[in-house]
Structure 1
Amino acid sequence: MPGHPRRPKAVGVLGCGHHLPHDVVSNEPVAAAAGVLPGWIESRTGIRARRVAAEDEAASDLAVLAAERALANAGVSASALRLIIVATSTPDSPQPPTASLVQHRLGAANAAAFDVNAVCSGFVFGMETARRMIADGGLALVIGVDVYSRILDPADRRTAVLFGDGAGACVLGPVPPGRGIVSVGLSTYGGMHDRIRVPAGGSRIPPSKESLLAGEHYFTMDGRGVREFVTDELPRAVHLFLRDNGIDGADVRHLVPHQANLRMLEEIVPSLGLPRADVHYTVEDYGNTGAASVPVTMSEAGERFREGDLVLLAAFGGGMSIGLALLRW
């Protein structure tokens, strides 16, 4: 008789870690370059400081340090990994994938490694990719890392005041039934692709003297359009996601949102329908760290999670995109 298909194993977070660059940059120098007052930055964004990578630090350097801490926290050796996914929109270089550099430096010779780019939603997109790829067993390392300081125009107050550099990582692997990743919801809104972008540096506008002079290699953002997107789409996405999974919002114990802008989050979180959730923030001290913001915040908040707690990750970013993940801790 034919055998029954093997049921996918429960996959969950075995350990997390993060790394922020040593250099702390306050609002004063950022405000001076952007032509605003330091108090304006905090009043509009809630950000007091951010970390900035040193000149000799790239995305892979931050990723490796976060990965080592995640592996140590999980009690896992790099050689045991089956998969490494690096979520970033600021790789070391267009080629090779930053994940291959991370794999090499960790000594994870048994792991396949590749990058994903869903901008600030990238970590959740990477987590779901990893979950499906190890559903039959094995261990995966998912890293979110960005070094936005390399692509910001210091004079652009719409972007320069918001971002910092950092990396966060989680080890995924088998967990007991009923625990781990309950469900993930990924959405892309391609009609809004122009709200966040770096116009040049790819095959559409390759690097040239003209593109450099025009500032087309800088990160650009339609701030009002992004806020409208998050305000309109994130609450709708969260409500539908919880409904489709049969979850009452009151049962969610922790919310880890993308750390885009504290003031914006303070306005939007009440509309998500999570009356009992503790909301975890790191944006005040680290700024918006792109794909790193969710794993960095989860890594810092993890000691407050208790067995059985429902944890909701809510990421959003360029594309536009939304990544939601519900975990039973």
Structure 2
Amino acid sequence: MDDFQQLSKHHRDIVKASTAFIYAILVSIAMNFFWTPGHIYSSGITGLAQLINSLMTKFMPVELSTAALLFILNVPMFIIAWRAIGHRFTVYTFLAVTLSSIMIKVIAPVGLTHDPIICAIFGGAVNGFGTGTALKNGISTGGLDIIGIVLRRRTGRSIGTINMAFNSLIIIAAGFVYGWPYAFYSALGLFVNGRVIDMTYTRQQKMQVMIITNRPKTVIDSVQNRIRRGVTIVHNAEGAYQHDDKTILFTVITRYEMSELKMAMAESDPHAFVSISDTVKILGHFYEPKP
């Protein structure tokens, strides 16, 4: 058993390290293939690093690269993550940010297109997918993602929405530096980035589940063995077709847990009727596993 747990932990470490490397490649592609050629600012700390680099290039005799600034600006975020989220989470966040800084520096900019709309959409989509994939696998890309996780635990707001709220300054800065049309292009990129994060990071997408079954104890045991979720039981329901006794079970899961729910139902009551509804707003405590 100890060997299995050790092997499982080793596998998770490999997956997280690989995810950090994949994210680094994706953010470097977004930066060097789309944002830089299109004069588009990214979201959060990455966008702030771009802004500082632009201002230093225009007004100062010395400058730091966007890659170096990205790492420097994330140092306070590492401290916040270490104290408020978790040590392992911080280690992988550090790895993701470090690899990102290296890859942005190593991969040379390629001007596939200079159309700002195309650069905003595709840059936001590529970066959003990378960020969402990293968060889905329990690591952060640093910057506002860390603040977003902390605030989401306290307010229930989605990470994409929180990021957009923090990025108003980036949009205004794009207007001053590149002209106001580019502020709108950057806003488009930020919107796409936030939506793709929300679509990819399925741990935060909540779904209400209604199960109608005549084997409630078996179903509850199977679901709770696989998923750490509470279940509400409604007794004395009646099927209208055969007028047989039924029990209705209610629970709320995340989209990330959907496969576990399907397996639990297959092994406990494959003939149960299961209705699943998207977009559930939760008032009260909803357990979220720590990264």
Give the structure-2-normalised TM-score. Answer: 0.28
Q: Who wins on radius of gyration, i.e. which is larger?
A: 2
**Greater relative contact order: 1 or 2 (C-alpha under 8 angstroms, separation 6 or more)?**
1
